[in-house]
Structure 1
């Protein structure tokens, strides 16, 4: 009888990617323990599976749904301190897979903002940085996007394809640029940013996870004009 607990351990590349994606801190946003103690050549990090290495583990699903190879891939791993690793596996119910994937995404976003997203000196520079991304998204929406209510797609196949491959990553790049340059925003633009963030999160839920329960916040028109004017009325 074939074993149902077949597992593939993470390879070296997956481990390196996981450490890079984590920034060296526990992936639990409520913990954030630094995993390298001072003056010691050791670390306290533990590689935790989101979907367990074997179907019998916490948050387990059959091998027919997630292969053994995919279970060992970096996309299914999260770096945690020993305490958080024990907690999510000993009491998995409050820590579903969707939550852990969310932790990974949040950490990646934080690192992108802190390290690779430019912080500009002028509003014009920010606008120039995001203009092409907004233009690409607008073109796709005009050609293939939803028309009318309820949500009906002009060309369902092409819309989903371009939404996932272009609009979703472009939305995230725009959001990172806006977050990194909040110091240049007016109070009104900060309110627009909050609405845009909600739109981005709900758009991803619908078009990537096929989850329509999170809401349908529409794209805020204010984003089309954000950072266009040179002068700011105030900086708060």
Structure 2
């Protein structure tokens, strides 16, 4: 099938060049979806995800954009509409995590997280709310830290608390559209974003915390997304904690 032909289902994965985003893109492609791998600055990594999908017979393209820029996201959705005929699944994995105790948090860092994690999720969710076809799904990303209340995570958790609020309200606003809106809240997951700056001792301690006694993998998280994007049609307006039972 060539680009431009109609396909059964089309998915946009923001942050698709990242660890979890890439796993989500590959997993949705394995379910037969055409996947748009969105990226902000990692063109080479996004292309690697695309190539890993096309190598197994899937259809994928990479598109760049700033998730917090309304014009750029509108253009991205327009491009997807023109090339594939519509959008059925939107997954918002794009996000940044900057850690510090409240007393020490740099407010510029706080504002950067608010822009990407809150405004970015809102901008993409707004496009999804306008464009998702019946039977579609929007999956945003929160974090299990909203339950665990770990020190140094206050600013990050605050952005994800906002994501949960907008997700749950949007699910109710989509009444009558046959579109589900949910959030996935991963626990400690072995991605570069999570592992950066942590000692081996810290990683081992976090890995031992869940009853399953290991860190999550990006593929673990992608399975929850695939369920919500596909067969999980009766799950709506929920935050799905995908964390091995840590809390």
TM-score (norm 1): 0.30
Instruction: Kindly indicate which of the two structures has a greater share of residues assigned to helix.
Output: 1
Higher relative contact order (CA 8 A, sep 6+): 2
